[in-house]
Chain A
Amino acid sequence: MKIKIRTREALQGLAFVSPWLIGFLIFTLVPLVRTFWLSLNEVRVTASGIRTFFMDLKNYRDAFLTDVTFSGMLIDYALQMAVYIPVIISFSMAVALLLNLKIKGQGLFRTIFFLPVIISSGPVLAELADKGAMTFEGLTNLGFLVNLQTTLPPSIARLLAFAVGSFIVILWFSGVQILIYLASLQKIDRSMYEAARIDGASGWQILWKLTIPSLIPITFINIVYTIVTVSTFSTSAVIQKIQTDMYRPEKGLGYASALSWIYFLVMLAIIGLFVLINVIYRKKGGERS
């Protein structure tokens, strides 16, 4: 009888999750494998269907050795991540900390800071960037920044110029992260603060020793969210290249598939790096306590 109840529960559970199971197989797992298979082929789209010619790793070799733009795009993507992640994370954390103070108009500020999530579609952002509404004129021409760029090594100068030039765009990716930080700030146990204050800790000490450490676990989620959102945003150069190469006869679907797999692997590597940092941090924390 007991086994029967468990079987029944299992069947009911599987029935409820079956839309996901079917969808995952048809729209995610099989396409993922198929993209990889296509990436090893030359794909020709004909009227009667598609024809594939096995090419081994040729598409991958072409991507790095023959294609003049792709490697540069990947390097730019890595640079972009190196700038975006710290800026977005520290910015959204700072804004959440400010909003968490007992201030009037918290709701209004939240509404404003979340605005980018609502209106940032690729074309709108592109129009705004095109018209210069996403940079403050002057900021890029500030004397000290220009001086700094001539004295710094070129790679760092490039990073800096990139950060300044796209500063507002970067902030526009922070809406959801601010909300996530704010929600977890409001969950911190009030009594911990009181205990710290009774022990004579200053506001500054509480911020660095109590509040920010308690945000570390959620920071990992925010970093992953940031990487995924920025990488899959339609203005990304690599994504645009994949889209145009799909229709190019000399490149085609096979080549575009190889590019998407490479892009996916680079993205996974970046996420993996932060998973590693997260694991190390947790281990250290475990030893301390």
Chain B
Amino acid sequence: MNVPRLNRKVKTAAGMASVYFTLLLIGFVFIYPVIYIISYSFMDTEDLVNPLVRWLPTKLYIGNFSEAASVLDFSATLIKTLIVTVLPSILQTISASIVGYGFSRFRFPGKKIMLAALLATFIIPPQVTMIPQFLMFRDLKLLETIWAFILPATFTQGIRSAIFVLIFYQFFNMLPRSLEEAAKIDGASTFRIFYRIAVPSATPAYIIAFLFSLVWYWNETTLTALYLGEKWATLPLKLQNFAVTFRRLYPADPYSVVGKNLNEAIVMAGTFLTLIPLLMIYFFTQSWFVESIDRTGITGE
């Protein structure tokens, strides 16, 4: 091997090593809190006060989880959270696809203005519209019912609906129209063309829109607290009130040394329980998330 070539090889190897090192370092920043949550949630009180125990608990103590689960009212809350997130996500995805198809395939007066308004809704923060919406739901007696989430989602004004309409708009724009035109010549109705031809070919867009809706609805707390309240409190909301609920469930006992005091481990176990369902969904569907933009071409011109 001649010298310049060897030089170049060493240079790229060193370059590659530094690239990996940087990526691992950054990756650590994102994994660190997750490791933190997991390791602390298994620590008992002895481990917590032991200065020698930093990362690895001396034993796997699962008592934190049973306490955290009772504070969160885990199974009931999980079912509620799933209802409150899955239902609006499905409706939002379906309506976004219908609207996206309409914008992509038809010419009609006012289309440009409507598309501009659609883009504008993305930058209108929910905080500017939530008070009148709150009053409206109150007048209609829909507060603390799931309708307060279902209605906006059905009319593509749910959480970040504008993005999903744009995803479908972009996706249908990329799809060739030839098949739909052939069906039209054969006399198929517009709606039939939509659900027999366009919908099946847009499966990736549907999956991606649904998954992102799910995550964003799950993580939403401001609107959930305002419209759905205590009655439909989701896991993240229960986590927000964790300390208060804990003190109500286990009143502090000043005379007992081993009395139940809220410690970091229990809070972390609660945080872990709140995260597990989403992490599991992410674990099985991660390629849909990380390849979403490649698959839908949302950034395409």
Q: How far is the CB of B127 from chain A (nearest CB, A)?
A: 5
| CB <8 Å contact, A120 and B219 | yes
| CB <8 Å contact, A103 and B20 | yes
| CB <8 Å contact, B102 and A239 | no
| CB <8 Å contact, A115 and B31 | yes
Cβ contact of B124, chosen from A12, A28, A95, cutoff 8 A: A28
Segment at the B interface, from A55-63, A67-75, A81-89, A257-265: A257-265
Q: How far is the CB of B128 from chain A (nearest CB, A)?
A: 5
**Given A31-B132, A35-B132: A264 and B106 interface contact (C-beta under 8 Å):** no
| CB <8 Å contact, B107 and A27 | no
Task: Tell yes or no: A188 within 8 A of B by CB.
Answer: no
| CB <8 Å contact, A267 and B125 | yes
Point out the residues of chain A lying under 8 angstroms from B279, CB to CB.
Answer: 118-119
Q: How far is the CB of B262 from chain A (nearest CB, A)?
A: 12
| CB <8 Å contact, A260 and B128 | yes
Cβ contact of B299, chosen from A103, A110, A180, cutoff 8 A: A180
| CB <8 Å contact, B236 and A10 | no
Q: How far is the CB of B278 from chain A (nearest CB, A)?
A: 6
Task: Tell yes or no: B83 within 8 A of A by CB.
Answer: no
Q: How far is the CB of A24 from chain B (nearest CB, A)?
A: 6
| CB <8 Å contact, B218 and A121 | yes
Task: Tell yes or no: A30 within 8 A of B by CB.
Answer: yes
Q: Please measure, in the bound complex, the distance between the C-alpha atom of A263 and the C-alpha atom of B129, giving whole angstroms.
A: 12
**Given A9-B108, A228-B123: A27 and B152 interface contact (C-beta under 8 Å):** yes
Task: Tell yes or no: A242 within 8 A of B by CB.
Answer: yes
Q: Please measure, in the bound complex, the distance between the C-alpha atom of A184 and the C-alpha atom of B240, giving whole angstroms.
A: 38
Closest to A232 in B: B125
Point out the residues of chain A lying under 8 angstroms from B36, CB to CB.
Answer: 128, 131, 133
| CB <8 Å contact, A186 and B135 | no
Task: Tell yes or no: B46 within 8 A of A by CB.
Answer: no
Q: How far is the CB of B160 from chain A (nearest CB, A)?
A: 9
Number of interface residues of B (CB under 8 A): 88
| CB <8 Å contact, B128 and A115 | no
Label chain A's interface by main secondary structure. Answer: helix
**Given A98-B23, A124-B236: A23 and B109 interface contact (C-beta under 8 Å):** no
| CB <8 Å contact, B274 and A124 | yes
Cβ contact of A228, chosen from B122, B190, B225, B275, cutoff 8 A: B122
**Given A121-B221, A243-B226: A115 and B34 interface contact (C-beta under 8 Å):** yes
Count of A-B residue pairs with CB < 8 Å:
243
Task: Tell yes or no: A163 within 8 A of B by CB.
Answer: no
**Given A112-B27, A124-B236: A27 and B135 interface contact (C-beta under 8 Å):** no
Chain A proximity mask over B268-298: 1 for CB below 8 Å, otherwise 0 = 1001001100110010001101101110000
Task: Tell yes or no: A65 within 8 A of B by CB.
Answer: no
Q: Please measure, in the bound complex, the distance between the C-alpha atom of A133 and the C-alpha atom of B221, giving whole angstroms.
A: 21
Cβ contact of B128, chosen from A23, A35, A109, A118, cutoff 8 A: A35
Q: How far is the CB of A11 from chain B (nearest CB, A)?
A: 8
Point out the residues of chain B lying under 8 angstroms from A134, CB to CB.
Answer: 33
Q: Please measure, in the bound complex, the distance between the C-alpha atom of A27 and the C-alpha atom of B159, giving whole angstroms.
A: 12
A-B contact pairs, 11 of them (CB 8 A): A9-B106, A11-B108, A13-B105, A20-B95, A23-B155, A113-B30, A117-B215, A183-B299, A221-B299, A228-B125, A234-B220
Q: Please measure, in the bound complex, the distance between the C-alpha atom of A271 and the C-alpha atom of B30, giving whole angstroms.
A: 28
Q: Please measure, in the bound complex, the distance between the C-alpha atom of A267 and the C-alpha atom of B120, giving whole angstroms.
A: 13
Task: Tell yes or no: B141 within 8 A of A by CB.
Answer: no
Q: How far is the CB of B95 from chain A (nearest CB, A)?
A: 5
Task: Tell yes or no: A152 within 8 A of B by CB.
Answer: no
Closest to A243 in B: B222
Task: Tell yes or no: B19 within 8 A of A by CB.
Answer: yes
Q: Please measure, in the bound complex, the distance between the C-alpha atom of A264 and the C-alpha atom of B290, giving whole angstroms.
A: 31
Point out the residues of chain A lying under 8 angstroms from B109, CB to CB.
Answer: 10
Task: Tell yes or no: A49 within 8 A of B by CB.
Answer: yes
Q: Please measure, in the bound complex, the distance between the C-alpha atom of A260 and the C-alpha atom of B122, giving whole angstroms.
A: 16
| CB <8 Å contact, A123 and B239 | yes
Point out the residues of chain A lying under 8 angstroms from B135, CB to CB.
Answer: 50, 253
Point out the residues of chain A lying under 8 angstroms from B121, CB to CB.
Answer: 24, 28
Q: Please measure, in the bound complex, the distance between the C-alpha atom of A94 and the C-alpha atom of B151, giving whole angstroms.
A: 41
**Given A15-B102, A133-B32: A234 and B222 interface contact (C-beta under 8 Å):** yes
Chain B proximity mask over A1-28: 1 for CB below 8 Å, otherwise 0 = 0000010011111111101111110111
Segment at the A interface, from B111-119, B173-181, B253-261: B111-119
Q: Please measure, in the bound complex, the distance between the C-alpha atom of A171 and the C-alpha atom of B25, giving whole angstroms.
A: 13
Point out the residues of chain B lying under 8 angstroms from A186, CB to CB.
Answer: 294
| CB <8 Å contact, A117 and B289 | yes
Point out the residues of chain A lying under 8 angstroms from B27, CB to CB.
Answer: 109, 112-113
Closest to B95 in A: A19
Q: Please measure, in the bound complex, the distance between the C-alpha atom of A35 and the C-alpha atom of B128, giving whole angstroms.
A: 7
| CB <8 Å contact, A115 and B23 | no
| CB <8 Å contact, A131 and B267 | yes
Q: How far is the CB of B149 from chain A (nearest CB, A)?
A: 12
Q: Please measure, in the bound complex, the distance between the C-alpha atom of A221 and the C-alpha atom of B264, giving whole angstroms.
A: 40
Q: Please measure, in the bound complex, the distance between the C-alpha atom of A249 and the C-alpha atom of B150, giving whole angstroms.
A: 30
Task: Tell yes or no: B29 within 8 A of A by CB.
Answer: yes
Q: How far is the CB of A121 from chain B (nearest CB, A)?
A: 4
Q: Please measure, in the bound complex, the distance between the C-alpha atom of A218 and the C-alpha atom of B118, giving whole angstroms.
A: 19
